[in-house]
Amino acid sequence: MRAVVYDRYGPPDVLRIEDVPKPSPAARQVLVKIAATSVNLSDWETLQGRPLYSRIGGLRSPARRTLGSDIAGWVDAVGAAVTRFRPGDEVYGDNLMLKGGFAEYAIAPESALARKPPALTFAEASTIPQAGVIAWQGTGGAVAGQRVLINGAGGGSGSFAIQLAKRLGAQVTGVDNAGKLDFMRSVGADKVIDYRSEDFTRSGHYDLILDLVAHRSVFAYRRALAPGGRYRCVGGSVPALLRVLTIGSVAGRLTRRRMGVLAVKEGPKHFEPVADLCVAGDLGIHIDRTFNLDEVPEALAHVGEGRALGKVVVSVN
């Protein structure tokens, strides 16, 4: 089978197409014939090997030779202990532990997969498991009238998060680069900020900040929170995340603000509710571009360099 592989951390040009053996599923695993795999910022980070947490399991070289975790396709074969699926079933899921989605076939644990809703295309289904869950859990608890700010709102998780916060009745501010301002407005942001020209931590006070690209001082984030407000970060530099976990936690409590890292819960029971909203038409899926398997380096760069408006998908079959 054809697969996009790499053996060392680095820029997109370390990736190459190889013919590799088709894998066989273990007892509780499923072999998926890939139709589509969406690109996440986590793929870009694991390609480069930074931040350092992206090297978990492979400090010096990649633990998995093929990236791609948000997969959708058909069940090709199942392990002896698999009970929920059989060959031919249409499935999707977040295969974050094993990855392998940028290939014609990938092995995934049975527990990571769900049946694809018939109303969604494979490309649409592949956008949901990771980005949708981050947005769902990151905006959870927001209520009508609250001021919500989403930093990194023009990408995959951000475009879902804007819509989910608006659905809860919040006033939403989206932060990203200038090329994404109109897109953030189009998915529902009430106000947009170009982070290169305006410091959002000085633009007002917010009841909830969802930070998808944490890099600033915890004291700047605290300054941007209203009393009783919450700050949640999902991605960013290791120093920034550590500061939030340590200094931020203490400094927040002392000033009646809550600051922490969002511990994202994975699996079908967490992403299927998001898919249900998409099927019902209550949540829009925004696919910026679709690439083929030979174009995976370009797809990763499009996301990693901050150019993607919403989600990017690699179509495999």
Quote the crossing angle between the two packed helices 268-280 and 131-138, to the nearest 10°.
Answer: 90
By residue count, the chain amounts to: 317
- 16-48 pLDDT tens trace: 999 999 999 999 999 999 999 999 999 999 999
- Using pLDDT thresholds of 50, 70 and 90, give the confidence band for residue 235: confident
pTM of the model: 0.94
**Residue 96: closest CA among 128, 67, 134:** 67
Question: Is the separation of the CB atoms in 62 and 97 below 8 Å?
Answer: no
> Per mean pLDDT, which range of 124-138, 173-187, 224-238, 243-257 is the poorest?
243-257
Residue 51 pLDDT exceeds 90: no
Distance from chain centroid for Cα 232: 15
E strand or H helix at 247: none
Task: Show Cβ contacts of residue 141 under 8 Å, excluding neighbours closer than 6 positions.
Answer: 208, 230
Which two tokens mark 310? 């919403």
- Using pLDDT thresholds of 50, 70 and 90, give the confidence band for residue 243: confident
Q: Which amino acid is at 138?
A: G
Question: Is the separation of the CB atoms in 275 and 136 below 8 Å?
Answer: no
Torsion angles phi and psi, residue 175, rounded to 5: -120, 130
How far is residue 315 from each of residues 72, 91, 249, 250, 289, measured CA to CA in Å? 10, 15, 42, 46, 10
- 178-198 pLDDT tens trace: 999 999 999 999 999 999 999
Residue 53 pLDDT: 80
Distance between CA 129 and CA 132 in Å, rounded? 6
E strand or H helix at 66: none
Percent over 70 (pLDDT), the chain:
97
